[in-house]
Amino acid sequence: MTIVEAPTSTVPLGGPSLPQERRLATSIPGPKSQALQARKAQAVSAGVGVTLPVYIVAAGGGVLVDVDGNSLIDLGSGIAVTGVGNSAPQVVEAVAAQLAQFTHTCFTVAPYDSYIEVAETLNRLTPGDHAKRSALFNSGAEAVENAVKIARHYTGKQAVVAFDHAYHGRTTLTMGLTAKNQPYKNGFGPFAAELYRAPMSYPYRDGGLDGVVAAGRAISQIEKQIGAENLAAVIIEPIQGEGGFIVPAPGFLPTLVDWCRANRVVFIADEVQTGFARTGDMFASDHEGIVPDLMVMAKGIAGGLPLSAVTGRAQIMDSPQVGGIGGTYGGNPLACAAALATMAAYESENLVGRAREIGAILTGRLNAIRAADKRVGDVRGRGAMIAIELVDAVTGEPDAALTGRVVAAAHAQGVILLTCGTYGNVVRFLPPLSIPDALLVEGLQVVQAALAAA
Ligand SMILES: Cc1ncc(COP(=O)(O)O)c(C=O)c1O
């Protein structure tokens, strides 16, 4: 059993009043978590994986507390969801008030105003001052599916282009857009028709190819292999998430947007992982000033309640026939109440600024580690969405085994850390924006020690 002395500090965004400390009461996972993991194996489909089998009983600020009394530093935010913090008080209050009023009517049966207010807020926050409309769904993948449906209906065309290293979800349509076979696609085919893949801009692995040139390469392939006259939409993550936090070279995204606009192709930005202050802008699209025709959002939108959205140009969003878009739970009143409180907090608490501060801490420390350790091939990302790519120090080849050892050692020391990347060699940092600086720094020190020992 390891007992760790850690500094405590206050939580800027509130949350349950949990000590903001790393505290190991047992080995990780502890005995109660291990017992629950054994029950999971008997009750839950084996296809549902778990990154770190510590079973959580409370969370807030920058920590998750498990059933064995361990307090773990959260560098994952439940995969970029709890930007505003876990159980942020504004969100709890708003959801509790809604819970006491009504839990569900189905917006498409008997509507309520919070759905409209979420749509109005999204129409205001997303890039561009043109007329917009929004529609609400439950998950990122469901919103991606609907963006594709809407783009096809509007253009009367069918083909959709996604990119190398893309991740858009695990439903039947979105699996086809997602690039990586294992674990997301293997054995789940056949995939939907009329989905195509184009080369991405990946500066660390394409020799620093200029962004405009990389876009030209993708466009040329699209024109030769598909034809703009058949293409309904291009969908892209402005910074790729699961693919490895790949930031395309400057000029790549604007060139694609211009080509789409000139060819009546709907440009869809999948901001499911990058959205809502995460990258140090409200949306990653803001960084290069691109204005997507449709934007897909989820994760950070509602402080942990399930909600997703498509927002876009009014003439495109209004194209489908009445009843063509919707679902039983999309825009559930509890999720809408959470979203309104969450989006208000992003603005009132200047969480864009907080993401930039977190980014400065992350990149400063990670670049210092890189300068001393050639196995850290790249440090990249923006704001509170930063990653390191781990490679063989001599060959530069991706080192997934090293990555696995580093992450396992960090987990054992009470730091929740996630990997990603086509080659399984990227460690990603996605702390909640409510994490105190001291805890973030301590988490990075644990990762640094894990790397040194690996
Ligand atoms: C960019 C992107 N698109 C879509 C999805 C799918 O979202 P969900 O898991 O909510 O279906 C994800 C999830 O990680 C994502 O990162």
Mutation to probe ligand 1, out of 48, 142, 167, 276 (largest number of atoms < 8 A from CB): 167
Tens-place pLDDT, residues 409-419: 999 999 999 99
Q: Please report which confidence band the pLDDT of residue 11 belongs to, taking 50, 70 and 90 as the band edges.
A: very low
Arithmetic mean of pLDDT over the chain: 96
**Burial class of residue 166 (count of CB atoms within 10 Å of its CB; 0-12, 13-18, 19+):** buried
Query: Are 146 and 256 within one domain?
Result: yes
Q: CA-CA distance, 290 to 394, in Å (whole number)?
A: 38
Asked if residue 81 belongs to a domain, the reply is yes
Q: How far is the CA of 299 from the centre of ligand 1 (A)?
A: 8
- Give the pTM: 0.96
In degrees, rounded to 5, the angle at the alpha carbon of residue 158 between the alpha carbons of residues 211 and 328 is: 105
Single residue among 301, 320, 349 that ends a domain in this structure: 349
Q: Is the CB of 167 under 6 A from ligand 1?
A: yes
Q: How far is the CA of 272 from the centre of ligand 1 (A)?
A: 6
Q: CA-CA distance, 307 to 297, in Å (whole number)?
A: 9
Q: Is the CB of 139 under 6 A from ligand 1?
A: yes
Query: Are 308 and 415 within one domain?
Result: no
Q: How far is the CA of 139 from the centre of ligand 1 (A)?
A: 7
Q: Is the CB of 298 under 6 A from ligand 1?
A: yes
Query: Mean pLDDT over residues 345-362, rounded?
Result: 98
Closest residue by CA, ligand 1 atom 3:
168
Asked if residue 22 belongs to a domain, the reply is no
Query: Are 110 and 38 within one domain?
Result: no
Q: How far is the CA of 134 from the centre of ligand 1 (A)?
A: 18
Q: Please report which confidence band the pLDDT of residue 15 belongs to, taking 50, 70 and 90 as the band edges.
A: low
Q: CA-CA distance, 139 to 117, in Å (whole number)?
A: 19
Asked if residue 380 belongs to a domain, the reply is yes
Q: How far is the CA of 31 from the centre of ligand 1 (A)?
A: 32
CATH number of domain containing 424: 3.90.1150.10
Q: How far is the CA of 79 from the centre of ligand 1 (A)?
A: 9
Q: Please report which confidence band the pLDDT of residue 3 belongs to, taking 50, 70 and 90 as the band edges.
A: very low
Q: CA-CA distance, 339 to 118, in Å (whole number)?
A: 7
Query: Are 232 and 337 within one domain?
Result: yes
Mutation to probe ligand 1, out of 165, 285, 296, 299 (largest number of atoms < 8 A from CB): 299
Q: Is the CB of 241 under 6 A from ligand 1?
A: yes
**Would you say 435 and 361 are in contact if contact means Cβ atoms under 8 Å apart?**
no
Query: Are 127 and 275 within one domain?
Result: yes
**Would you say 191 and 176 are in contact if contact means Cβ atoms under 8 Å apart?**
yes
Joined tokens for residue 245: 């936090």
Q: Is the pLDDT of residue 446 over 80?
A: yes
Query: Are 292 and 357 within one domain?
Result: no
Mutation to probe ligand 1, out of 148, 168, 171, 185 (largest number of atoms < 8 A from CB): 168
Asked if residue 15 belongs to a domain, the reply is no
Q: Is the pLDDT of residue 99 over 60?
A: yes
Asked if residue 323 belongs to a domain, the reply is yes
Which pLDDT does position 5 carry in this prediction? 39
Query: Mean pLDDT over residues 343-359, rounded?
Result: 97
Q: Is the pLDDT of residue 10 over 80?
A: no
Task: Please state the length of the chain.
Answer: 454
Query: Are 120 and 187 within one domain?
Result: yes
CATH number of domain containing 341: 3.40.640.10
Query: Are 146 and 218 within one domain?
Result: yes
Q: Is the pLDDT of residue 4 over 70?
A: no
Q: Please report which confidence band the pLDDT of residue 17 belongs to, taking 50, 70 and 90 as the band edges.
A: confident
Tens-place pLDDT, residues 64-98: 999 999 999 999 999 999 999 999 999 999 999 99
Q: Is the CB of 423 under 6 A from ligand 1?
A: no
Query: Are 82 and 131 within one domain?
Result: no
Q: Is the pLDDT of residue 7 over 50?
A: no
Asked if residue 64 belongs to a domain, the reply is yes
Q: How far is the CA of 13 from the centre of ligand 1 (A)?
A: 25
Q: Is the CB of 442 under 6 A from ligand 1?
A: no
Which pLDDT does position 12 carry in this prediction? 45
Asked if residue 10 belongs to a domain, the reply is no
Tens-place pLDDT, residues 206-220: 999 999 999 999 999
Single residue among 314, 349, 384 that ends a domain in this structure: 349
* SS3 of the chain: CCCCCCCCCCCCCCCCCCCCCCECCCCCCCHHHHHHHHHHHHHCCCCCCCCCCCCEEEEECCEEEECCCCEEEECCHHHHCCCCCCCCHHHHHHHHHHHHHCCCCCCCCCCCHHHHHHHHHHHHHCCCCCCEEEEEECCHHHHHHHHHHHHHHHHCCCEEEEECCCCCCCCHHHHHHCCCCCCCCCCCCCCCCCEEEECCCCCCCCCCCCHHHHHHHHHHHHHHHCCHHHEEEEEECCCECCCCCECCCCCHHHHHHHHHHHCCCEEEEECCCCCCCCCCCCCHHHHHCCCCCEEEECHHHHCCCCCEEEEEEHHHHCCCCCCCCCCCCCCCHHHHHHHHHHHHHHHHCCHHHHHHHHHHHHHHHHHHHHHHCCCEEEEEEECCEEEEEEECCCCCCECHHHHHHHHHHHHHCCEECEEECCCCCEEEECCCCCCCHHHHHHHHHHHHHHHHHC
Query: Mean pLDDT over residues 260-274, rounded?
Result: 98
Q: Could you tell me the maximum CA-CA distance found in the chain, to the nearest angstrom?
A: 64
Which pLDDT does position 257 carry in this prediction? 98
Query: Are 166 and 303 within one domain?
Result: yes
Q: Is the CB of 82 under 6 A from ligand 1?
A: no
Locate the ligand 1 atom nearest the alpha carbon of residue 141 and give its number: 11
Single residue among 349, 378, 409 that ends a domain in this structure: 349
Q: Is the CB of 238 under 6 A from ligand 1?
A: no
Tens-place pLDDT, residues 276-302: 999 999 999 999 999 999 999 999 999
Query: Are 376 and 334 within one domain?
Result: no
Q: Which of 9-18, 125-134, 311-320 has the lowest mean pLDDT?
A: 9-18
Domain count, the chain: 2
Which pLDDT does position 16 carry in this prediction? 60
Query: Mean pLDDT over residues 93-117, rounded?
Result: 98
Query: Mean pLDDT over residues 318-327, rounded?
Result: 98
Q: How far is the CA of 87 from the centre of ligand 1 (A)?
A: 21
* Beta-carbon contacts of residue 41 (< 8 Å; ≥ 6 apart): none
User: Which range marks the domain in which residue 271 is found?
Assistant: 91-349
Query: Are 234 and 295 within one domain?
Result: yes
Asked if residue 12 belongs to a domain, the reply is no
Which pLDDT does position 220 carry in this prediction? 98
